[in-house]
Structure 1
Amino acid sequence: MIKINIEMKKGHYFSGIFIAVFVGIHLLNHLIGLGGIKEHIEFMEKLRVYYRNIFIELILLGAIIFQIFSGLSLFRTKIKTANSSFEKIQVWSGLYLAVFFSFHIFAVVFGRYLLHLETNYYFGAAGLNIFPFNLFFLPYYALAILSFFGHIAATHSKRMNRNFLGLDPKSQAKIMIGTGFLVTMLIFCAMTDYFKGVKIPQAYDVLIGKYGILLGK
């Protein structure tokens, strides 16, 4: 049992690195949206040449599924021994990411293959720009981004054993979490046209209905 847990932790760690690279690029794509919707979609189209490859998609999907199940297993173990702030951040952010990935993958697959929607900028922006749906999607996405940075920060504080630029590992981790808050706000600016509201194409009415209130416009 101990050997299985050790192997699971290793697998969780390395699959997490692979997923973190993808998520980091995905967040960068959203940040590019600060320059406009066109720029966001153009950058996404360039990336899709690589990650829409069936083999890459299967590897990524497999890594995420393993991450979810191994994460839930590790949560049940670590929640009993988590004492420090970063240990608690690690287990609770991991739990939220497991839930988020489960829902997010389902939503993308459902939208792409069953609703035949283009899962681009507008697919993600639809819920953020329409009231009352944004009351759910704003915290839903905010917690996902913050959990991503929080999970990495907590892991970093545990594994890092030396100072960097005069900062100890815990201070470095705090900066990572602060960066997460900044990135969250910037992405919301990009996905809502700086909170003025983005007009969502009619094709996405199937997601948000026709009775929501468009923010700002």
Structure 2
Amino acid sequence: MTIKKIHYVSGLTLSVFIGVHLFNHFMSFWGPTAHISTMEILRFVYRNPLVETLLLIAVLTQIVSGIRLFIRKRKEVTNSFEQLQILTGLYLALFLTIHLSAVLTGRSVFHLDTNFYFGAAGLNTFPFNVFFIPYYSLAIISVFGHVAAVHRTKMKRSLLGASPGQQSVWILILGVVLAGFLIYGLTNRFNGFQIPKEYKVLTGN
């Protein structure tokens, strides 16, 4: 199997988890309790040792294969979508590395439940939210941007009157809108959530 194929398969695997993860974040509109309750149900699947191992392998495979593809093809970029694919791929590799390290550190070093409050601490605490709001927003946009770029390459026909290029633009726009929508929910409509004392160690408060 080629590196490109391996990258594609690991990406599909991660896309399923990311989709479920974003749905979980959508529940923040009903408050932390709804978010955590949904997460507890979903954890029966992705906290299964086998599934968790497969996800970890998929993340590492995606990062390593993505970097190798970047090194190989960075001088072969011919259009804006290929450039978008490279830029979003690099950002996602950085984000996944940081995010995975943070979650593992939170669980093994700080002995925290990496639930809603673990991710929301930085989003709801000034001045950390100045960094974390764009950090998470760009991650969501990059997922959709990466998918849009791949879609532009693989899609060969129009759909509902939209050309492959137009379809890809709409996918990217959807990512931008969804990023804003989810950040709005995760910050209690920009009013901020109260963070429990045990999670304030993450922001030094």
TM-score computed with the length of structure 2 as normaliser:
0.98
Identity within the alignment, %: 47
Separation (CA, whole Å) in 1 of partners of 2:78 and 2:27? 38
Separation (CA, whole Å) in 2 of partners of 1:54 and 1:114? 20
The answer for the alignment partner of 1:103 in structure 2 is 98
Separation (CA, whole Å) in 1 of partners of 2:186 and 2:2? 39
2:107 to 112, 117, 125: 112
Deviation per residue, 1:116-159 (Å, 9 max, x gap): 11111111100011111111111111111111000000000100
Give the alignment of 1:64-213 within 5 angstroms: 64-210=59-205
Give the alignment of 1:17-36 within 5 angstroms: 17-36=12-31
Give the Å deviation of 1:67. Answer: 0.6
Separation (CA, whole Å) in 1 of partners of 2:56 and 2:72? 25
Separation (CA, whole Å) in 1 of partners of 2:120 and 2:6? 33
Give the Å deviation of 1:8. Answer: 0.5
User: SS of 2:2's equivalent?
Assistant: helix
Determine if the alignment matches structure 1 residue 57 to structure 2 residue 52.
Answer: yes
Give the Å deviation of 1:100. Answer: 0.6
Separation (CA, whole Å) in 1 of partners of 2:26 and 2:84? 25
- The residue type paired with residue 71 of structure 2 is R
Separation (CA, whole Å) in 1 of partners of 2:108 and 2:49? 14
CA RMSD of aligned residues (A): 0.9
Separation (CA, whole Å) in 2 of partners of 1:39 and 1:204? 18
Give the Å deviation of 1:35. Answer: 2.1
Give the alignment of 1:6-21 within 5 angstroms: 7-21=2-16
- Preserved contact between residue 126 and residue 204 of structure 1 (Cα < 8 Å): yes
User: SS of 1:62's equivalent?
Assistant: helix
User: SS of 1:43's equivalent?
Assistant: helix
Deviation per residue, 1:12-36 (Å, 9 max, x gap): 0011001011001101110121122
Separation (CA, whole Å) in 1 of partners of 2:150 and 2:141? 14
Unaligned runs of 5+ in 2: none
Moved over 2 A (4+): none
Separation (CA, whole Å) in 1 of partners of 2:31 and 2:130? 24
Separation (CA, whole Å) in 1 of partners of 2:2 and 2:72? 14
- Preserved contact between residue 34 and residue 186 of structure 1 (Cα < 8 Å): no
